[in-house]
C-alpha cells in the first residue's frame, strides 16, 4: 500500500513516502540525526521505529537492526521496512506475505552513502526502478529533501500504489537543523489526504525552503543608498516605519515568517522579492 525511500548523504538522514492510506506520515517514517532513518510499512509495525532507532544508537548496522526487528516479529512475513544507519549502510526487507507487487532495492552513492527503496501493492517493479534511477540521477550536493522528493515523484509518475493516491510525507533530520537550530528536525512535512499528495508535498517543500531556508551570503544585498530607500518606502506602505531599518524590516519579516533569512544591514534577495510582491 506504500512506496518509500530511506537515505542519507552523510550529513542528513531522511524518509520520503506516499500511499493510498490516510496520514502515511504518522505511521511510516522515523529518523534521528547521526543515528539513521527507518521506514516501516505493509501492515506497519510501528514499534520498528523506536526499537529500530534504539538499536542503531547502540551501534547495530542497518542490516543487523532489520534482522533483529523481523526476527522478533511473529508477523514478519506481512511486513516491509527499509533502514539506513549512521555510517550510510542500507537494508531493506519484504515479507513473503506482502501484497503484490512488492519488493525493494538498496545501494549507495560514491561507494558510501546508502539508500533503501521499497514498496508494496504497487503497479509493478517499475515504480522501485524509477525511484532508484531518479535518486541516482540527483546531484549529491543538493539538499536531501530535494533528492528524496525527486525519487518519490518518480515513483508516483511511474504509477505508485496501484490502488490510487491519498497521502505523502517527508522527514529529514540533521544536527541542529530545525527552526532556530533548536532541534534536529530539518523538515517534517505531511499531506494527510489529497488527490495529488506528492504534488502537494512538493508545494509544501517550496514553502518550507522559502520560510526556513538560510540566505546565501554571496547573494546578500547591502541595505544602503537607493535600495535602502526602496525597502523603507515599501515597508512604510505596509504600515512598518521607524528609524532603525533593520528593526523595521525584522518587524515585517517576523509577521511574514522570514526571520530565518534576516542578516543585519543586508537583505536576502528572496526576502526582497517577497517584499516587492506585497
| C-alpha to C-alpha distance for 133 and 111, rounded to whole angstroms | 16
Q: Per-residue pLDDT tens for 134-181?
A: 999 999 999 999 999 999 999 999 999 999 999 999 999 999 999 988
10 lies in the same domain as 127: yes
58 lies in the same domain as 78: yes
178 lies in the same domain as 272: no
For residue 275, name the pLDDT band (cuts at 50, 70, 90): very high
Q: Per-residue pLDDT tens for 60-107?
A: 999 999 999 999 999 999 999 999 999 999 999 999 999 999 999 999
66 lies in the same domain as 188: yes
238 lies in the same domain as 191: no
226 lies in the same domain as 139: no
Domain of residue 231, residue span:
217-277
Q: What is this structure's pTM?
A: 0.94
Amino acid at each position: 500500500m506504500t512506496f518509500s525511500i530511506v537515505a542519507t548523504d552523510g550529513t542528513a538522514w531522511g524518509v520520503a513516502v506516499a500511499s493510498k492510506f490516510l496520514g502515511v506520515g504518522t505511521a511510516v517514517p522515523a529518523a534521528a540525526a547521526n543515528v539513521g532513518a527507518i521506514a516501516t510499512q505493509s501492515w506497519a509495525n510501528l514499534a520498528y521505529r523506536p526499537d529500530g532507532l534504539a538499536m542503531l544508537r547502540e551501534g547495530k548496522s542497518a542490516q543487523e537492526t532489520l534482522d533483529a526487528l523481523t526476527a522478533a516479529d511473529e508477523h514478519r512475513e506481512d511486513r516491509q521496512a527499509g533502514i539506513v544507519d549512521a555510517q550510510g549502510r542500507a537494508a531493506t526487507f519484504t515479507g513473503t506475505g506482502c501484497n503484490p507487487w512488492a519488493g525493494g532495492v538498496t545501494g549507495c552513492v560514491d561507494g558510501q552513502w546508502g539508500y533503501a527503496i521499497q514498496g508494496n501493492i504497487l503497479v509493478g517493479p517499475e515504480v522501485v526502478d524509477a525511484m532508484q534511477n531518479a535518486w541516482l540521477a540527483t546531484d549529491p550536493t543538493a539538499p536531501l529533501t530535494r533528492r528524496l522528493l525527486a525519487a518519490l515523484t518518480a515513483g508516483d509518475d511511474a504509477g505508485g500504489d496501484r490502488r490510487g493516491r491519498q497521502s505523502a510525507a517527508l522527514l529529514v533530520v540533521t544536527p541542529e537543523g530545525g527552526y532556530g537550530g533548536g532541534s534536529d528536525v530539518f523538515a517534517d512535512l505531511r499531506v494527510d489526504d489529497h488527490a495529488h499528495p506528492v504534488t502537494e508535498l512538493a508545494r509544501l517543500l517550496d514553502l518550507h525552503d522559502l520560510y526556513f531556508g538560510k540566505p546565501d551570503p554571496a547573494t546578500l544585498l547591502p541595505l544602503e543608498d537607493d535600495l535602502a530607500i526602496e525597502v523603507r518606502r515599501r515597508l512604510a506602505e505596509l504600515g512598518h516605519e521607524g528609524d532603525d531599518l533593520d528593526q523595521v524590516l525584522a518587524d515585517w519579516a517576523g509577521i511574514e515568517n522570514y526571520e530565518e533569512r534576516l542578516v543585519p544591514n543586508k537583505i536576502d534577495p528572496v526576502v526582497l522579492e517577497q517584499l516587492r510582491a506585497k
